[in-house]
Chain A
Amino acid sequence: MENKVIETKGLTKYFYDPIKFQVLKEINIGINHGEFVSIVGKSGCGKSTLLYLLSTMDTDYEGQLLIKNELITGKKDNELAQIRNEKIGFVFQFHYLLSEYNVLKNVMLPGLKLGKYSETEIKNRAMEHLKTLDMEDQALKMPNQLSGGQKQRVAIARALINDPLIIMGDEPTGNLDKKNSDLVFDILKKLTLEKKQTILIVTHDNDFAQKTNRIITMEDGRILL
């Protein structure tokens, strides 16, 4: 299995406040290219904590994290930022968009940061993504003029702008009604089917999880096989 997009080896994490407590215990997982994987488990079992480690935002852990067989553990802040920018797309539960920018600019921002394409090209790509998400006519609105489902679609477009290796989501549908959450699922599903996009979603919505390729179940900081 050499084609793993992301892989962990004995990932272990403690919290020290208020008391020392092991939140993740020897986690070994691997996600293959093109897979649509969901992580499920009871609230408080450590799903979000694991995702933050995988996302490279949290570096305080034991064990190893590899992306495309490259060791990520121990890299410097600006190298990790570069990896997040280029290889990882994020969708949070509370659709974090920059309120200072309009929808289009929000989607473009990680692309501008990467600087791989010209601004006009990035703009065209952003418009294309918004179009596939049925959001093109909202491009010039400000985030506070959008509904929850619309914001989440903008967040997905933003996650896609740099053609990431993997899209990660922490309960991206947790804050949405059934209709919008189905819509978001369909979009993600379409991305794996049509573009072989690798996706890893944390959720406690079992219906949602059932429809994915693979379910990873967590309990008390461990993976259940």
Chain B
Amino acid sequence: MMNYTLILNIATHLLLARLKQTIVAAVGVTFSIAMFITLVSFMNGLNDLLDGLMLNRTPHIRLYNEIKPSENQPISLSKEYKNNTNFINSIKPKDRGKSIYNSKAIISYLKKDPRIIDVAPKITTPVFFNSGTIEISGTINGIEVLSEEKLFKISDYIIDGNVVDLLQNNSIIIGKGLADKMLLTKGDVIKITSTRGNLSSLKIVGISQIGIADIDDSMSYTSLDTAQKVLGEPTNYITDIQIKLFDMSLAAALAKEFEQKFNLDTIDFNTANSQFETGSKVRTIISYTVGIVLLIVAGFGIYNILNMMIYEKMDSIAILKATGFSGSDVKWIFVSLSLIIGIVGGLIGLFFGYIFSSIIDVVPFETASLPTVKTYPIHYSGIFYLIGIVFALFTTTIAGLFPALKASKVDPVEIIRGK
């Protein structure tokens, strides 16, 4: 019954007759959508960057032995007190050692699991680095060089030297902060004391920089062999098993599964880094809020302009009604008018949003703490553009609806008689 092409045609003619106001209204939409796209892309780029910073270095699941008291204290073995509530004071943790028992078997089992990309065994241990008379406490990460490189791409963070040099006997890569403090460079020898007092000398084959001062000031890499030697432990000594999954959303579930299967402590990346998620959420909320506020402002602009247009076009509305257009036809004419402003303004806004994000994407952003980042980060995603255009259409429709309803109720008799 309704003739949409005719209604669109009338809406376009009304718009073209008021081109300047139309452009002003559309520019408002364009501006807010462009800002929204730019902001969301940039904020999500930042999220990716920071998450990446964390995720690249963090295994999806880590298996380890936590130092903690035995869950079954001797009294629970006693039948006599079985039905009593027992209070035990001054429990001390039991030293089971941090070593993972039967690690070789666990690793070969995990490597066969189809959900797992790869497994990297690791030894983390606190040590003292000695230089002259000073002692600096830090950690050694004993790694299986090739699988560690495969899973965590540590070569990205080696600013001097080469990861594979760790395969040489008694070699070490130390953090930049550590090297600066101790005035050491590649090629120097560093003395290390283990917590048990073993002394060893390792050759520095590289310097690493992750971008987090706390870590760069204290961390070092060696091969598993070297770490075991430094600690005076046998070749099956391992403290951590790191796992990367194909689907990281399974991390929490699998962590639980492995905890039971291997009787080890496990932690998934989300639990280990919950503060990152909070930061990401805040950034996302900020960008959406700003986008929505801008759109509401643009919506009021459209509302005003349409209201004005209706007062100017009273005669036209009266003629349309007198010649057979119904109230609902008139309503659709004005809704279409608003939608045209929304679609045109919105699409141009998406385009400018893309241009702005591309510009930000090539602006140099070099900071010593982020060696892999050269420009400001931008996340390109079709979803943002989809949300942008849906927002634009939604706001303009709402903004147009009230004036349109008003126009549909215009009484032609009043207008025609009023002359």
Contact = CB atoms under 8 A, between A and B. Distances in A.
A84 B324 contact: yes
Contact of A100 (B3, B14, B325, B326): B14
B250 interface: no
Contacts of B316: 98-100
A85 B315 CA distance: 17
Given A97-B319, A99-B316, A78 B17 contact: no
Nearest to B3: A115
Contacts of B261: none
B54 interface: no
Nearest to B416: A92
B355 interface: no
B322 interface: yes
A96 B326 contact: no
B6 A96 contact: no
Nearest to A83: B324
A198 interface: no
A109 interface: yes
A88 to B, nearest CB: 8
Contact of A81 (B6, B319, B329, B413): B329
A173 to B, nearest CB: 15
Interface string B315-350: 110111111111111000000000000000000000
Contacts, number: 77
B327 A78 contact: yes
Interface string B16-53: 11000000000000000000000000000000000000
Interface string A171-183: 0000000000000
Given A78-B326, A96-B319, A58 B416 contact: no
Contacts of B16: 100
B324 A114 contact: yes
B94 interface: no
B3 A85 contact: no
B13 interface: yes
Contacts of A77: 326-328
A82 interface: yes
A98 B328 CA distance: 19
A57 B411 CA distance: 8
B325 A113 contact: yes
Interface string A96-120: 1111110000000110111100000
A48 interface: yes
B126 interface: no
Nearest to A161: B323
Interface of B: 1, 3, 6, 10, 13-14, 16-17, 315-316, 318-329, 412-413, 416-417, 419
**Which 8 residue pairs spanning A and B have beta carbons closest together?**
A85-B324, A81-B326, A78-B326, A100-B13, A110-B323, A100-B17, A84-B324, A96-B319
